[in-house]
Amino acid sequence: MSNKCQKKAALRLRRQRSIRHTLRGTAERPRLCVFRSNSHMYCQLIDDNAGATLCALSTLHQSVKALVDGKKPVEQAKILGAEFAKLCAEKSIKQVAFDRNGFIYHGRIQAVADGAREGGLEF
């Protein structure tokens, strides 16, 4: 069983490297990187030229945790995307490059993107 899990993780890392090869975050259009674990979602806004994280938010953050308690995972991800868009608006960032981080674009990853679009971010 662990061999199957190792293979799945290795394939995700391969997709991640392939995506990062073509996708770069700049100061004008930073990279929105999304990570999905079994129980939580994490978003980061990264400027690759400066090598800096501009802002980050997750379902563990207190402001988001109060909103997502008792909701289903896809609903939690959509709320996270909307809250992240508000955080980016405070920093005057409207355009981002979406990095799905090697995950397939459906379910929670898609919900984060949809929530961010509804919040005002442009991909």
What confidence category does residue 16 fall into, taking pLDDT thresholds of 50, 70 and 90? Answer: very high
The CA-atom distances, in angstroms, between 19 and each of 3, 14, 44, 80, 111 are: 24, 9, 16, 23, 19
Taking only the tens place, the pLDDT of each residue in 23-65 is 999 999 999 999 999 999 999 999 999 999 999 999 999 999 9
Helices within 69-107 (DSSP H only): 73-90
Taking only the tens place, the pLDDT of each residue in 62-95 is 999 999 999 999 999 999 999 999 999 999 999 9
pLDDT of residue 2: 78
The CA-based diameter of the chain, rounded to the nearest angstrom, is 47
pLDDT of residue 1: 58
Looking at the chain, the whole-number percentage of residues with pLDDT higher than 90 is 98
How far is it, in rounded angstroms, from Cα 117 to Cα 92?
Answer: 15
